[in-house]
Amino acid sequence: MRFAEQDFTGAAPEQVCRHGIGLVLKDRRIFPGLTVEENLRLGLLQTPRRTRAEARARLEGIYERFPRLAERHRQTHTNDVLMPRDGIRWGTNGVPGKGVDLKIVDLDGHMVPNGQTGEIVVRSRGVFHGYWNKPEATAEVLRDGWVHTGDIGKMDDQGYLTFIGRIKEMIKISGFSVFPEEVESILILHPDVGQVAVIGVPDAVKGEVVKAFIVPSGDAAQPFNCDTLLAWARENMSHYKVPRQLELRELLPATGTGKVLRRLLKAA
Protein backbone atom coordinates (compact mmCIF):
# COMPACT_ATOMS: atom_id res chain seq x y z
CA MET A 1 0.00 0.00 0.00
CA ARG A 2 1.31 3.45 -0.88
CA PHE A 3 0.53 6.75 0.78
CA ALA A 4 0.99 10.31 -0.34
CA GLU A 5 2.57 12.80 2.05
CA GLN A 6 -0.70 14.68 2.42
CA ASP A 7 -2.29 11.52 3.84
CA PHE A 8 -0.23 12.11 7.00
CA THR A 9 -0.41 15.88 7.23
CA GLY A 10 -1.67 16.70 10.69
CA ALA A 11 -1.19 13.15 11.99
CA ALA A 12 0.52 12.69 15.34
CA PRO A 13 3.08 9.89 15.89
CA GLU A 14 0.60 8.09 18.16
CA GLN A 15 -1.86 7.80 15.25
CA VAL A 16 0.76 6.51 12.86
CA CYS A 17 2.00 3.93 15.37
CA ARG A 18 -1.49 2.86 16.40
CA HIS A 19 -2.42 2.00 12.84
CA GLY A 20 0.87 0.23 12.18
CA ILE A 21 1.85 2.51 9.31
CA GLY A 22 5.46 2.56 8.20
CA LEU A 23 6.64 5.66 6.39
CA VAL A 24 9.71 7.61 5.48
CA LEU A 25 9.88 10.90 7.34
CA LYS A 26 10.57 13.44 4.62
CA ASP A 27 8.79 16.50 5.93
CA ARG A 28 8.68 17.69 9.52
CA ARG A 29 5.22 19.17 8.88
CA ILE A 30 3.62 15.73 8.97
CA PHE A 31 4.13 15.55 12.75
CA PRO A 32 3.09 18.98 14.07
CA GLY A 33 2.27 17.38 17.43
CA LEU A 34 5.97 17.26 18.24
CA THR A 35 7.93 20.08 19.76
CA VAL A 36 10.19 22.14 17.52
CA GLU A 37 13.28 20.32 18.80
CA GLU A 38 11.69 16.91 18.27
CA ASN A 39 10.72 17.85 14.75
CA LEU A 40 14.30 18.87 14.10
CA ARG A 41 15.50 15.55 15.43
CA LEU A 42 13.22 13.66 13.11
CA GLY A 43 14.25 15.90 10.25
CA LEU A 44 17.83 14.86 10.89
CA LEU A 45 17.04 11.48 9.42
CA GLN A 46 16.55 13.04 6.01
CA THR A 47 19.40 15.54 5.95
CA PRO A 48 22.61 14.55 4.14
CA ARG A 49 25.90 13.66 5.80
CA ARG A 50 24.59 11.88 8.87
CA THR A 51 25.97 8.86 10.70
CA ARG A 52 24.07 6.13 12.48
CA ALA A 53 25.47 7.31 15.81
CA GLU A 54 24.28 10.85 15.15
CA ALA A 55 20.76 9.71 14.30
CA ARG A 56 20.56 7.52 17.40
CA ALA A 57 21.75 10.29 19.70
CA ARG A 58 19.21 12.78 18.34
CA LEU A 59 16.32 10.32 18.36
CA GLU A 60 16.69 8.76 21.78
CA GLY A 61 14.28 11.20 23.43
CA ILE A 62 11.68 10.65 20.72
CA TYR A 63 11.83 6.88 21.13
CA GLU A 64 11.18 7.35 24.84
CA ARG A 65 8.15 9.53 24.18
CA PHE A 66 6.77 7.41 21.33
CA PRO A 67 7.93 3.84 22.03
CA ARG A 68 6.15 2.41 18.98
CA LEU A 69 8.74 4.08 16.77
CA ALA A 70 11.65 1.67 16.41
CA GLU A 71 14.77 0.83 14.45
CA ARG A 72 15.81 -2.28 12.58
CA HIS A 73 18.83 -3.92 10.96
CA ARG A 74 18.41 -4.54 7.27
CA GLN A 75 20.55 -4.75 4.16
CA THR A 76 19.41 -4.21 0.60
CA HIS A 77 20.04 -7.87 -0.22
CA THR A 78 18.54 -9.39 2.94
CA ASN A 79 15.30 -9.11 4.86
CA ASP A 80 16.30 -10.13 8.32
CA VAL A 81 15.04 -8.60 11.58
CA LEU A 82 11.93 -6.75 12.68
CA MET A 83 11.07 -5.06 15.96
CA PRO A 84 8.10 -6.75 17.70
CA ARG A 85 5.31 -4.20 18.14
CA ASP A 86 4.65 -5.52 21.65
CA GLY A 87 8.29 -5.87 22.64
CA ILE A 88 10.32 -2.92 21.42
CA ARG A 89 13.78 -2.69 22.95
CA TRP A 90 15.73 0.53 22.56
CA GLY A 91 19.33 -0.09 21.55
CA THR A 92 18.62 -3.34 19.70
CA ASN A 93 17.53 -3.89 16.12
CA GLY A 94 14.84 -6.49 16.69
CA VAL A 95 14.40 -10.25 16.28
CA PRO A 96 14.61 -12.42 13.15
CA GLY A 97 11.47 -12.21 11.07
CA LYS A 98 9.28 -15.13 10.10
CA GLY A 99 11.18 -17.62 7.98
CA VAL A 100 14.55 -15.99 8.73
CA ASP A 101 17.48 -17.88 10.20
CA LEU A 102 20.08 -15.59 11.74
CA LYS A 103 23.20 -16.42 13.69
CA ILE A 104 26.39 -14.83 14.94
CA VAL A 105 29.59 -16.61 13.89
CA ASP A 106 33.32 -16.28 14.48
CA LEU A 107 36.00 -16.01 11.79
CA ASP A 108 35.85 -19.77 11.24
CA GLY A 109 32.08 -19.76 10.75
CA HIS A 110 31.24 -21.29 14.12
CA MET A 111 28.34 -19.93 16.17
CA VAL A 112 29.31 -17.89 19.20
CA PRO A 113 27.38 -17.85 22.52
CA ASN A 114 24.71 -15.22 23.11
CA GLY A 115 26.21 -11.92 24.21
CA GLN A 116 29.44 -12.41 22.27
CA THR A 117 30.18 -10.47 19.11
CA GLY A 118 30.74 -11.94 15.66
CA GLU A 119 29.63 -11.64 12.06
CA ILE A 120 25.91 -11.54 11.34
CA VAL A 121 24.91 -14.23 8.82
CA VAL A 122 21.40 -14.64 7.45
CA ARG A 123 19.45 -17.31 5.57
CA SER A 124 15.90 -17.02 4.23
CA ARG A 125 13.86 -17.16 1.04
CA GLY A 126 14.19 -13.38 0.81
CA VAL A 127 17.98 -13.12 0.53
CA PHE A 128 19.60 -12.22 -2.76
CA HIS A 129 20.86 -14.88 -5.19
CA GLY A 130 24.11 -13.20 -6.11
CA TYR A 131 25.79 -10.18 -7.65
CA TRP A 132 25.23 -9.65 -11.37
CA ASN A 133 28.22 -11.02 -13.33
CA LYS A 134 30.37 -11.10 -10.19
CA PRO A 135 30.79 -14.79 -9.29
CA GLU A 136 33.80 -14.26 -7.02
CA ALA A 137 32.07 -11.55 -5.00
CA THR A 138 28.96 -13.75 -4.78
CA ALA A 139 30.97 -16.74 -3.55
CA GLU A 140 32.55 -14.59 -0.86
CA VAL A 141 29.24 -13.35 0.52
CA LEU A 142 26.81 -16.20 -0.23
CA ARG A 143 27.99 -19.50 1.26
CA ASP A 144 25.78 -22.59 1.50
CA GLY A 145 22.69 -20.40 1.35
CA TRP A 146 23.90 -18.09 4.14
CA VAL A 147 24.56 -14.41 3.45
CA HIS A 148 27.68 -13.23 5.26
CA THR A 149 26.71 -9.61 5.79
CA GLY A 150 30.08 -8.21 6.79
CA ASP A 151 28.35 -6.71 9.83
CA ILE A 152 29.41 -7.34 13.41
CA GLY A 153 26.68 -7.83 16.00
CA LYS A 154 25.51 -9.87 18.95
CA MET A 155 22.34 -11.66 20.05
CA ASP A 156 20.92 -11.62 23.56
CA ASP A 157 19.18 -14.52 25.30
CA GLN A 158 15.80 -13.31 24.06
CA GLY A 159 16.91 -13.34 20.43
CA TYR A 160 17.29 -9.58 19.95
CA LEU A 161 20.05 -8.50 17.58
CA THR A 162 22.34 -5.55 18.24
CA PHE A 163 24.36 -4.17 15.33
CA ILE A 164 27.85 -2.98 16.28
CA GLY A 165 29.69 -2.11 13.08
CA ARG A 166 31.12 -3.16 9.72
CA ILE A 167 34.03 -5.61 9.66
CA LYS A 168 35.84 -3.67 6.95
CA GLU A 169 35.61 -0.47 9.02
CA MET A 170 36.97 -2.03 12.22
CA ILE A 171 39.97 -0.20 13.68
CA LYS A 172 42.70 -2.33 15.29
CA ILE A 173 44.48 -0.39 18.06
CA SER A 174 47.22 -2.25 19.96
CA GLY A 175 45.21 -5.46 19.70
CA PHE A 176 41.89 -3.81 20.62
CA SER A 177 39.00 -3.81 18.12
CA VAL A 178 37.19 -0.49 17.81
CA PHE A 179 34.25 0.28 15.54
CA PRO A 180 33.64 3.81 14.27
CA GLU A 181 30.09 3.79 15.65
CA GLU A 182 31.40 3.27 19.18
CA VAL A 183 33.41 6.48 19.08
CA GLU A 184 30.91 8.48 17.03
CA SER A 185 28.06 7.67 19.42
CA ILE A 186 29.98 9.36 22.24
CA LEU A 187 31.51 12.31 20.40
CA ILE A 188 28.14 13.35 18.95
CA LEU A 189 26.91 13.92 22.51
CA HIS A 190 29.28 16.86 22.96
CA PRO A 191 27.39 20.15 22.40
CA ASP A 192 30.12 21.55 20.13
CA VAL A 193 29.84 18.61 17.71
CA GLY A 194 27.25 18.92 14.97
CA GLN A 195 28.31 15.90 12.95
CA VAL A 196 31.12 13.37 13.26
CA ALA A 197 32.66 10.51 11.33
CA VAL A 198 35.50 8.27 12.49
CA ILE A 199 38.08 6.20 10.63
CA GLY A 200 41.30 4.38 11.48
CA VAL A 201 44.66 5.69 10.28
CA PRO A 202 48.04 3.92 10.36
CA ASP A 203 50.27 4.33 13.39
CA ALA A 204 53.84 3.02 13.71
CA VAL A 205 53.39 1.96 17.34
CA LYS A 206 49.73 1.01 17.77
CA GLY A 207 49.00 -0.29 14.28
CA GLU A 208 46.10 2.13 13.89
CA VAL A 209 44.65 5.04 15.82
CA VAL A 210 41.33 6.85 15.67
CA LYS A 211 40.89 9.91 13.51
CA ALA A 212 37.68 11.94 13.87
CA PHE A 213 36.24 14.34 11.32
CA ILE A 214 34.18 16.99 13.07
CA VAL A 215 31.56 19.36 11.71
CA PRO A 216 31.14 21.94 14.50
CA SER A 217 27.66 22.67 15.76
CA GLY A 218 26.12 26.10 15.34
CA ASP A 219 26.71 26.77 19.04
CA ALA A 220 30.39 25.82 19.02
CA ALA A 221 32.92 28.46 20.06
CA GLN A 222 35.00 30.09 17.34
CA PRO A 223 37.67 29.04 16.76
CA PHE A 224 36.77 25.44 17.57
CA ASN A 225 38.66 24.18 20.62
CA CYS A 226 40.00 20.72 19.75
CA ASP A 227 41.84 20.36 23.07
CA THR A 228 38.60 20.81 25.01
CA LEU A 229 36.85 18.13 22.96
CA LEU A 230 39.73 15.68 23.39
CA ALA A 231 39.84 16.28 27.14
CA TRP A 232 36.11 15.59 27.30
CA ALA A 233 36.58 12.43 25.21
CA ARG A 234 39.22 11.11 27.59
CA GLU A 235 36.72 11.43 30.44
CA ASN A 236 33.92 9.66 28.56
CA MET A 237 35.47 6.72 26.68
CA SER A 238 38.21 4.12 26.97
CA HIS A 239 41.68 5.57 26.45
CA TYR A 240 42.39 3.59 23.29
CA LYS A 241 39.17 4.87 21.66
CA VAL A 242 40.05 8.55 22.15
CA PRO A 243 40.87 10.16 18.78
CA ARG A 244 44.55 10.88 18.26
CA GLN A 245 43.76 13.07 15.28
CA LEU A 246 40.97 15.59 14.66
CA GLU A 247 40.08 17.29 11.41
CA LEU A 248 37.45 20.00 11.13
CA ARG A 249 35.14 19.93 8.12
CA GLU A 250 32.29 22.09 6.87
CA LEU A 251 30.50 18.95 5.70
CA LEU A 252 31.01 15.21 5.38
CA PRO A 253 30.94 13.25 2.10
CA ALA A 254 27.73 11.31 1.73
CA THR A 255 25.53 9.41 -0.69
CA GLY A 256 22.33 10.87 -2.09
CA THR A 257 20.43 9.13 0.71
CA GLY A 258 22.62 10.72 3.37
CA LYS A 259 24.93 7.82 4.29
CA VAL A 260 28.35 9.10 5.27
CA LEU A 261 31.10 7.73 3.01
CA ARG A 262 33.97 6.86 5.31
CA ARG A 263 35.95 5.40 2.40
CA LEU A 264 36.22 8.89 0.88
CA LEU A 265 37.51 10.20 4.18
CA LYS A 266 40.15 7.47 4.25
CA ALA A 267 41.16 8.29 0.69
CA ALA A 268 41.45 12.03 1.35
* Statement to judge: residues 206 and 258 lie in one domain: yes
> What are the tens digits of pLDDT across the range 177-234?
999 988 998 999 999 999 999 999 999 999 999 999 999 998 888 899 999 999 999 9
Q: What is the pLDDT of residue 121?
A: 95
Residue 91 lies in a domain: yes
- Reported pTM: 0.66
Residue 149 lies in a domain: yes
Domain boundary, last residue among 130, 149, 165: 165
Peptide bond into 223 cis (omega under 30): yes
* CA distance linking residue 203 with residue 263, whole number of Å: 18
- Indicate the burial class of 244 (C-beta count within 10 angstroms; 0-12, 13-18, 19 or more): middle
Residue 159 lies in a domain: yes
Pairing of strands 245-248, 207-216: parallel
> What are the tens digits of pLDDT across the range 113-143?
999 999 999 999 888 888 999 999 999 999 9
Domain boundary, last residue among 165, 180, 205: 165
Q: What is the pLDDT of residue 38?
A: 52
> What are the tens digits of pLDDT across the range 148-188?
999 999 999 999 999 888 999 999 999 999 999 889 989 99
Tally the domains of the chain.
3
* Statement to judge: residues 262 and 185 lie in one domain: yes
* Statement to judge: residues 160 and 210 lie in one domain: no
Q: What is the pLDDT of residue 53?
A: 57
Residue 189 lies in a domain: yes
Residue 74 lies in a domain: no
* CA distance linking residue 67 with residue 69, whole number of Å: 5
- CATH classification of the domain holding 245: 3.30.300.30
* Statement to judge: residues 36 and 113 lie in one domain: no
Q: How far apart are the first and last CA of the chain?
A: 43
Residue 57 domain boundaries: 5-65
pLDDT > 80? residue 39? no
Confidence label for 59 from pLDDT (cuts 50, 70 and 90): low
Residue 117 lies in a domain: yes
* Statement to judge: residues 176 and 161 lie in one domain: no
* Statement to judge: residues 160 and 246 lie in one domain: no
* Statement to judge: residues 160 and 178 lie in one domain: no
Q: What is the pLDDT of residue 202?
A: 96
Residue 249 lies in a domain: yes
- Indicate the burial class of 82 (C-beta count within 10 angstroms; 0-12, 13-18, 19 or more): middle
Contact 164, 181 (CB under 8 A): yes
Residue 87 lies in a domain: yes
